[in-house]
Amino acid sequence: MNTTNPVVIDAVPGQSYADISREFEAPAAAVFRAHADPELFRVWIGPRSLETRITNWDFRTGGGYRFEQTDADGNVYAFRGVFHTIRENELLIQTFEYEGMPDLVSLDVMRFEDLPGGRSRLVDHSVFPSVEVLEGMMAEGMEYGMREGYEKLDEILANRA
């Protein structure tokens, strides 16, 4: 692979939601599986500088998740949420909270869409409680963490059986 596919963040200024899309050189089912399987998810989620440990994983409609990410200095960042809807290979609706900013919860509606040629697109409609929270997440390097994470996901998809 020459270059990686870009993370496209479509945010209207002054609105509290963003559409984040990313294409993959693999079918939607493979990308979905990397969101469903904690052993795969743990490897790719977040930037390369952080080590991820899953502390709760109940991947079903009505279930939930929690994971901790540790940096080289031993600082721990924890994230958790609940799965509102899971439709296999197609749709994932979940809440998301960084425990360092308690009660600032966002809602992600993630659609997994097949494209021609065995490719796919993931579109995440990410809804924040206010414009300020979205802008804060952008400023905190949300896009950077997603880009590196998806590059790791590319590697998982390239190596799959």
Q: Report the alpha-carbon distance of residue 124 to residue 98 in Å, rounded.
A: 17
Q: Report the alpha-carbon distance of residue 73 to residue 132 in Å, rounded.
A: 29
Measured from the CB atom, is 52 or 94 closer to a copy of itself? 94
Q: Compute the least distance from the CB of residue 142 to a copy of itself, in Å.
A: 18
Any idea what the Cα angle at residue 1 is, between residues 47 and 35, rounded to 5°?
A: 45
Strand partners, 56: 66
Measured from the CB atom, is 32 or 44 closer to a copy of itself? 32
Q: Compute the least distance from the CB of residue 103 to a copy of itself, in Å.
A: 7
Q: Compute the least distance from the CB of residue 21 to a copy of itself, in Å.
A: 16
Q: Compute the least distance from the CB of residue 91 to a copy of itself, in Å.
A: 7
Given candidates 93, 123, 138, 142, which one binds a copy of itself under the rule CB under 8 A? 93
The reply on whether position 84 binds a copy of itself by CB under 8 A is yes
Closest CA to 55 of 70, 40, 71, 66: 66
Given candidates 11, 105, 138, 142, which one binds a copy of itself under the rule CB under 8 A? 105
The reply on whether position 38 binds a copy of itself by CB under 8 A is no
- Checking phi first, is residue 46 left (phi over 0); if not, alpha (psi -120 to 50) or beta? left
Residue keyed to tokens 């809440």: 95
